[in-house]
């Protein structure tokens, strides 16, 4: 191609990702009661999800976690506290489709009090707790956030006495084996991220 300075020239350039590029995919799902049908769909599709990702690249890893709501009133009622949590890291990054399928199939949803959900607590921990989640430095990171509701933001936590500003830090033990829960006392005292 001969180009002359100041003369426009058009050409087509095709770009595609390199084959077998490293890919880490983390699914963070709302486990509030309104998501029960959606959780059942994910359970039914878990094999297909993992196998589809595997068809894109053989160098993939997949992880899974869930969120509900801050473990305190007014977001939960007294009779809703049993088994509840803000964020639960269920499966660290793995290349096993079977591990992903098994992690999803044993989970269930829980009720809470209000429409917005506490998903940003979980979202922040998935992003910041790199070692616990298992994010690789050399991979593309995809975080799939699954919910049917809006989310709580900074200052919403004040309604429950969560007055400490969220500093955007990993607040989970990095060397733990899943399932790992976001500390209930921290969840109840630190405001939502924004």
If you average pLDDT over residues 88-102, what whole number do you get? 94
DSSP β-bridge partners for residue 46: none
Q: Residues 50-69: pLDDT tens digits?
A: 989 988 899 999 999 999 88
Q: Residues 1-50: pLDDT tens digits?
A: 677 888 888 878 888 767 789 999 999 999 888 888 999 999 999 999 99
Q: What is the pLDDT of residue 175?
A: 87
Mean pLDDT score of the chain: 87
Using a pLDDT cut of 90, give the percent of the chain over it.
47
Q: Residues 100-138: pLDDT tens digits?
A: 999 999 898 877 767 788 889 999 999 999 999 999 999
Residue with tokens 């426009």: 8
């Amino acid at each position: 191609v001969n180009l002359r300075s100041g003369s426009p020239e058009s050409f087509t350039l095709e770009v595609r990702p390199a084959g077998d590029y490293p890919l880490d995919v983390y699914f963070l799902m709302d486990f509030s009661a309104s998501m029960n049908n959606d959780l059942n769909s994910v359970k039914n599709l878990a094999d297909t999800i993992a196998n589809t990702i595997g068809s894109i690249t053989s160098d993939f890893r997949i992880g899974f976690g869930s969120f509900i709501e801050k473990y305190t009133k007014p977001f939960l009622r007294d009779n809703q506290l049993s088994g509840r949590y803000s964020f639960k890291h269920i499966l660290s990054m793995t290349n096993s489709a079977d591990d992903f399928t098994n992690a999803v199939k044993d989970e269930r949803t829980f009720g809470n009090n209000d429409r917005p959900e506490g998903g940003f607590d979980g979202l922040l921990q998935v992003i910041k707790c790199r070692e616990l989640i298992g994010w690789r430095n050399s991979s593309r990171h995809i975080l799939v956030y699954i919910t049917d509701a809006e989310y709580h933001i900074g200052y919403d936590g004040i309604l429950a006495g969560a007055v400490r500003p969220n500093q955007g830090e990993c607040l989970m033990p990095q060397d733990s084996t899943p399932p790992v829960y976001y500390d209930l006392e921290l969840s109840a005292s630190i405001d939502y991220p924004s």
